[in-house]
Chains A and B, each alone.
Chain A
């Protein structure tokens, strides 16, 4: 059974860099059928896609966060990571790592987010 687990500091100071790692177990991060992503949810609010990465290292970012986000992958450790720079209180959120799976339906290729980590709360405060 595939499992994703986020890890990293739960408290980050304003203007510093938030760093999280997602460890994937029960499956390989190097499969061509998957992308791996980060999604966040501020307390009491909705979901916001941050960005995704392919095992080859190709990255895709939310345009609204692109200037501050870096996602990387370490296939040897079956992990991928998120760095968000210059954080403010508005970046306080539960951060989820997730898998997007390639599926074909009636000739349409889709990438639903079918596995999620449990989420980790990151608070930005001095």
Chain B
């Protein structure tokens, strides 16, 4: 089974900061990676798919990169509405999915 790890598990940041979250797969998954944002009491929202493609309607301050085993989600300038938990998801073994444990971004 492919295992996903994320770092950090939480990060405190200020509005305007650049935030980077890393996701690592236990084996190569090509570009089969997506990123989701989840706010308390809400369903997750798709941000990035295929490692670096921005989902329609998602602000351009969000970007994704990476391939193989190491991936990154970057928020270029953190906005108040970006405080949330972020999850990566692999689909290399589609239709078998695995989520990462999540990274909580909170206010410094």
Interface residues of A (CB under 8 A from B): 35, 37, 46-49, 52, 60, 62-63, 96, 98, 100, 103, 105-106, 108, 110-114, 116-119
Whether the pair A105, B55 counts as a contact (CB closer than 8 A) is no
Q: Would B95 and A108 count as touching, CB distance under 8 A? A: no
Say if the beta carbon of B89 comes within 8 Å of chain A: yes
Contact partner, A96, options B1, B43, B98, Cβ 8 Å = B43
* Chain B interface size range: 20 to 34
Chain B, residues 65-108, CB within 8 Å of chain A (1/0): the string is 00000000000000000000001010100111111111000000
With both chains docked as a complex, state the minimum distance between the C-beta of A20 and any C-beta of chain B, in angstroms.
Answer: 15
10 chain-A/chain-B pairs, Cβ below 8 angstroms: A46-B102, A49-B89, A52-B97, A105-B49, A106-B31, A108-B30, A110-B34, A112-B46, A114-B55, A116-B43
17 further A-B pairs in the complex, CB-CB below 8 A; given A46-B100, A113-B97: A35-B95, A46-B87, A47-B36, A47-B87, A47-B102, A49-B89, A62-B96, A96-B44, A106-B31, A111-B94, A112-B34, A112-B55, A113-B44, A113-B89, A114-B46, A116-B44, A118-B42
Question: By the criterion CB–CB under 8 Å, are A52 and B95 in contact?
Answer: yes
Contacts of B97 in A (CB 8 A): 37, 49, 52, 113
How many Å from the CB of A59 to the closest CB on chain B?
A: 9
A49 to B96 alpha-carbon distance, docked (Å): 8
User: Which of B44, B45, B100, B102 gathers most chain A CB within 10 Å?
Assistant: B44
Contact with A along B32-64 (1 / 0, CB 8 A): 101010100011111001100101000000000
User: Which of A37, A108, A118 meets B50, CB within 8 Å?
Assistant: A108
| Separation of A108 and B50 alpha carbons in the complex (Å) | 8
